[in-house]
């Protein structure tokens, strides 16, 4: 008969189960926040930023055209003089227009490449979320069942009079039973005439 298992790690198993519950409860909201942040970033690129810089591009193009017109008018005026302020206004308006054009190009580029860059990472987070939602929940339930089983096993006590993990010893053969062979206790039974080394 196999010996009884030595169950001594119930506290460690319960601590592991508790830590797993805490991990799952914290990891799932974190992954949800990551997915939400990805969606917010995509909408920010496609709507907020694109709309903002398209409007900036139209406004700055008009300002550049006004500055150019003012400089052209100064050159064609009666005095045929263009001032440094007129030239500076054209340079500033041109630089602002080029900035808006560059920003809009970058936004369009990131909008096109967003899914290609981020979808592989999003899929990995989705897989982890599935594991946390399904597999880890099952693991917590399995650990709870294992703890109940081991606790019941550790509290089990064998019937009185039996040694743990051993069969009960058979009774010694009595020498005075009719037809019984003399057992190992026969030499010490009083009244036996047989002596070690004596005559028959």
> Does residue 177 have a pLDDT over 90?
no
> Does residue 148 have a pLDDT over 50?
yes
Task: Indicate whether this model's pTM tops 0.75.
Answer: no
pLDDT tens by residue, 184-200: 444 444 444 444 444 44
With contact defined as beta carbons under 8 Å apart, do 90 and 68 qualify?
Answer: yes
Least trusted range by pLDDT, from 69-73, 94-98, 109-113, 174-178? 174-178
CA distance 57 to 100: 5
Of residues 145, 193, 14, 176, the one with CA closest to residue 185: 176
With contact defined as beta carbons under 8 Å apart, do 70 and 89 qualify?
Answer: yes
Average pLDDT taken over every residue of the chain = 78
- Cβ-proximal residues to 81 (8 Å cutoff; 6+ apart), any chain: 74
> Does residue 2 have a pLDDT over 60?
no
pLDDT tens by residue, 5-63: 555 668 888 888 899 999 999 999 999 999 999 999 999 998 899 999 999 999 999 99
For the chain, the 3-state helix, strand and coil shares in percent, each to the nearest 5, are: 70, 0, 30
Least trusted range by pLDDT, from 7-21, 107-121, 170-184? 170-184
Q: pLDDT band at 84, cuts 50/70/90?
A: confident
pLDDT average, residue stretch 73-84: 70
| pLDDT at 80 (0 to 100) | 58
């Amino acid at each position: 008969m196999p010996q009884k298992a030595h169950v001594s790690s119930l506290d460690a198993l319960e601590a592991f189960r508790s830590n797993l519950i805490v991990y799952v409860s914290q990891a799932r909201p974190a992954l949800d926040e990551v997915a939400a942040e990805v969606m917010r970033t995509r909408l920010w690129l496609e709507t907020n930023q694109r709309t903002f810089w398209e409007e900036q591009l139209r406004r700055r193009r008009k300002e550049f055209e006004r500055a150019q017109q003012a400089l052209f008018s100064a050159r064609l005026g009666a005095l045929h003089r263009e001032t440094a302020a007129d030239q500076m206004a054209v340079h500033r308006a041109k630089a602002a227009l080029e900035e808006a054009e560059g920003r809009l190009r970058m936004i369009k580029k990131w909008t096109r490449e967003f899914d290609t860059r981020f979808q592989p990472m999003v899929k990995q987070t989705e897989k982890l979320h599935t594991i946390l939602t399904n597999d880890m929940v099952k693991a917590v339930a399995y650990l709870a069942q294992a703890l109940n089983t081991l606790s019941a096993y550790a509290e089990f006590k064998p019937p009185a009079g039996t040694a743990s993990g051993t069969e009960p010893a058979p009774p010694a053969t009595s020498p005075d039973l009719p037809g019984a062979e003399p057992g190992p206790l026969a030499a010490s039974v009083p009244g036996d005439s047989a002596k070690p080394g004596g005559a028959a």
